[in-house]
Amino acid sequence: MIGNISKGRGFRGCLSYLLEKEQAELIGGNMLGENARELAAEFKLSRQLNPDIKQPVFHASLSLPKHEDYAEHVDEERWNSIAADYLQQMGFTRNQYIVVRHFDRDHDHIHIVAARVKLDGTVVDDSWDYRKSQDIIRSLEREYNLTPVLSSWEVERRGITKGQYEQQRREVETGSTPTPNVKERIAELADQVLPTCTTPEQFIEKMQAAGVQIQTRTQRDGSISGISYQYTQNGVTVATPGNKLGTDYSWNGIQRRIKELTPQLGDAELLAAQKKVAAYFAKLPTHPNEQELQRFQRDERRLAALYDDLFQQTLEKQDEIEQASWLSRLLPKYKTDLASLEKILAQRDRVYESWMAAGRRVEEWHSQKEEYRRWQSSPATKEMEQLREYLNTPQVQTRLSHIKEEQRQERERQQEGREISIAVQQLFRLIGTQPQPDGSLMLEGNRWRLMQRGHTVSVSVKADNREILRVEGEKTVVFNPTREERERMHSLRSKVSEQLQQEKIWQRSLERKQSRGFSL
């Protein structure tokens, strides 16, 4: 099945194009309108829920392939089922949509028009939607037993020519070593390198590091307009323009693919997404072990057989006791038989309870399996798996590492600023004098200007009034000293700490003398 998706601004034009063809039929959807005008009025309702969306129209076409001897077809009910499954997996769960079938081509195909704005006002995420659509189509082909078709990125990668195929076939038939397909190797290397690149220039560097020689065609303004590759494998050297490998390997294709792979989320969104994925998969239901089920089933069968045996023994013993004559009932053997019957009954009851418990374990196993299956196949899990795959791409991992390192450095900066602020406050207390009327206090030959106003402490350079530290309460607002200033501030902190330590020693000595009765 071949799929194509696009997004647009207006519903009326798209609906008119699809419905006003002679061989067009509206076969499904969840809307009441029967023509373009009525449906556009209905779509307007969801559009008004989120008027900021510039492209509220989602348009997808799904086509069955036409073979040399026949064209594949499915009935209307099956097309509607395929369309509903496709939309749900694409994230359109509470959206208006219609399904239109066209009969103007040799191949059977439908068009789906859906509102990107859900009925609760949220918008369907369109990140990676092109690749997502291809993956969904491949799964629908398997589910509905349709003829599989290569994904678009496989089509956009040129296969071997008929001449190359015939040459390889002859070489295999004669037993000689097939000539390596160097173009395919170049494409494979490009596919391996691309996910690790964030710029086309980085792609060129990594391809050359992998042994592929790159040449670019430059325009008069200095911009690159084309790319070619040269690679040697097993003594065979091939030089080829990028477009000969496929559109994905041209310069425009390389730029487009890198742009598709480049993270689009902000720093805070990336961190939030990482926490969200970790929290979601931490609640992953237990996947039942098949061996446990076999063991539970064996226990259930064994206990059921044992219960049947004890039940049969009970019947036989009861018959034996009931058939005893009144004289036999006076003999000690009768009492022994009654005790034996009670023992068998008690054992049968215990086995019955164990049998029922084994059956409950089997039912619980199947219940866990069903819960795990529902969890795995739920739209939320698929969305989280796609998000996890996105977060695990090399670009995003590198970016997350940088974000966390920047946050660590910021925390250290904040802590260092707070420690120096505390030292400044202690300095005021140690000096024991009031600041000047403007709230400042000079230190070390007027090179610094210290200020404390309420809970705000600041340090600035007296010469140019440049502020290098300001702490408001517990938050470091400014901390940007030079290396020399940083060292002097650390020296100040150490000096103050030393003075405080000496003051504590003197205070403890004073307290000891007072405790011994010395008058001071």
Task: Give me the average pLDDT of each 10-residue run along the chain (520 residues).
Answer: 86 89 89 90 89 91 74 86 92 92 85 92 85 86 78 48 53 56 84 79 89 89 88 86 84 82 68 88 85 88 89 86 79 85 90 90 88 85 81 78 85 77 66 54 60 75 78 76 78 75 78 67
Tell me the two tokens of residue 283.
């609640």
Q: Does 298 map to a domain?
A: yes
- Token pair 């020689």 is found at 213
Please report, for the domain that includes residue 51, its CATH number: 3.30.930.30
Q: Does 186 map to a domain?
A: yes
Other Cβ atoms closer than 10 A to 505: 10
Clarify whether residues 446 and 321 are in a common domain.
no
- pLDDT at position 212, please? 92
Clarify whether residues 6 and 140 are in a common domain.
yes
Clarify whether residues 179 and 136 are in a common domain.
no
Domain total of the chain: 4
pTM for the structure as a whole? 0.36
Clarify whether residues 14 and 80 are in a common domain.
yes
Q: Does 469 map to a domain?
A: yes
List the domain range (segments joined by +) for residue 475: 416-514
Handedness of CA 137, 138, 141, 143 (dihedral sign): negative
Q: Does 491 map to a domain?
A: yes
- pLDDT at position 152, please? 47
Clarify whether residues 19 and 114 are in a common domain.
yes
- pLDDT at position 517, please? 65
Clarify whether residues 422 and 357 are in a common domain.
no
Q: What CA–CA distance (Å, rounded) separates 238 from 230? A: 6
Clarify whether residues 6 and 142 are in a common domain.
yes
On whether the CB atoms of residues 481 and 424 are closer than 8 A, the answer is no
Q: Does 411 map to a domain?
A: no
Q: What CA–CA distance (Å, rounded) separates 345 from 305? A: 16
On whether the CB atoms of residues 431 and 419 are closer than 8 A, the answer is no
Clarify whether residues 31 and 130 are in a common domain.
yes
- pLDDT at position 439, please? 52
On whether the CB atoms of residues 98 and 38 are closer than 8 A, the answer is no
